[in-house]
Amino acid sequence: MTNFVLKIIAIITMFCDHLGYAIYGKFSYFNYIGRIAFPIFAFGISEGYLHTKSKKNYLMRLFLFALISQAPFMFFNSMFREEFMLNIFFTLFIGLVAIIGYENCKNKAIGFLLVICLSIAADTLKMDYGYWGILVIFIFHIFKEKKMLMNLSFIGICLVKYIPSYINSNFYYAYPLLFIFTVLSLVFINLYNGEKGKDTKYLLYGFYPAHLILLYIMNILFIK
């Protein structure tokens, strides 16, 4: 499975996730499918770090599209929540900063502390997926050559994410399903063959803000 195919799977499952909110204005069964998307995007950041020709340009590109996507993200979010959040590109940007910071620290203990601080910052600033998103990106990077550890660490961080919500919720079936679909992303990630496939550098960058605006307009014109 090439990087191109992984991106298409992530984009389709992300669209399903957001389509559910556009139709129902709340959590729905579409969102189970959507749990597959972010881990694939996170894995893509770890791969992008390895293969990009310019880490500086990669960072600038992520940050630019984070700024471009924020207004569409806020419009989209207004359909089902009032809480202010920063879009996923900010999370991916900080995740890449965490990888670069860690790799440039001679003392890896300090590098790991930097990753933890950036994870806390992502949560404090209310970035999409918060601390969990940064740690997932870092796990895919640090264990890129140790697939068993990568898989087990990812499952562990998923348990950390979902068990507290399960304990504090009356929806006993929902969080086990969210956990299962999130972990299901590993099937696709482990099928990755290291090949780039078709050049889709700007596919996600353009699709993300565009589909948020499209779903927002659809919600206003045809659903509300």
User: 192 pLDDT exceeds 80?
Assistant: yes
Query: In the structure, what pLDDT confidence band is assigned to residue 219 with cuts at 50, 70 and 90?
Result: confident
| DSSP calls for 33-89 | HHTTHHHHHHHHHHHHHHH-S-HHHHHHHHHHHHHHHHHHHHHHHTTT--S--B-HH
How far is CA 220 from its chain centroid? 26
Give the model's pLDDT for residue 223. Answer: 67
Choice among 43-47, 49-53, 89-93, 184-188 with the minimum mean pLDDT: 49-53
Give the model's pLDDT for residue 210. Answer: 96
Extract the tokens encoding 195: 């090949």
Q: What percent of the chain is modeled with pLDDT above 70?
A: 98
Residue range 35-77, pLDDT digits in tens: 999 999 999 999 999 989 899 999 999 999 999 999 999 999 9
User: Torsions phi, psi of 86, nearest 5?
Assistant: -100, 140
Query: In the structure, what pLDDT confidence band is assigned to residue 194 with cuts at 50, 70 and 90?
Result: confident
* 137-148 average pLDDT score: 95
Which residues, 6 or more positions from 180, have their beta carbon under 8 angstroms from its beta carbon?
Answer: none
CA distance 91 to 198: 25
CA distance 205 to 186: 23
Are the beta carbons of 93 and 62 closer than 8 angstroms? Answer: yes
Residue range 151-163, pLDDT digits in tens: 999 999 999 999 9
HSE-CB of 165 using CA atoms within 13 angstroms: 13
Read off the pTM.
0.94
